[in-house]
Amino acid sequence: MLTEREKMFGELPKGAYLYCIHCERAYPKDKYRVMSDIDFGLMQMCPYEDCDGDAVMDAWEWTRICSEHTDYPDVPEENKVYPMYKQ
């Protein structure tokens, strides 16, 4: 079964990671929380409990982030923050 993100943007390669632009952490593409919203129904959310990003529009491909940050690993560490914009 395809996730809402895959329905919108197409399937990602197996083992791919996504990057949440809200909490700046990466996670396996098949991981997400399901949240019920009065206006939108069931929503797929970033898997990190302390994040309010969704796993559809707020999830970018990890390879896209790595293309701009060549020091980031191919396989991200769980729960580690990877800043999109370095200071």
Instruction: List Cα–Cα distances, 51 to 35, 57, 86, in angstroms.
Output: 12, 14, 20
Q: What are phi and psi of 7, to 5 degrees?
A: -65, -35
Look at residue 5 in the predicted model and tell me its pLDDT.
67
66 pLDDT more than 80: yes
Residue at 75: amino acid letter? V
Instruction: For residue 84, give the DSSP letter.
Output: S
- 22 or 87, greater pLDDT: 22
35 pLDDT more than 80: yes
Q: How confident is the model over 76-87, as a mean pLDDT?
A: 90
74 pLDDT more than 70: yes
- The rounded distance, in Å, linking the Cα atoms of 44 and 57 is 10
14 pLDDT more than 70: no
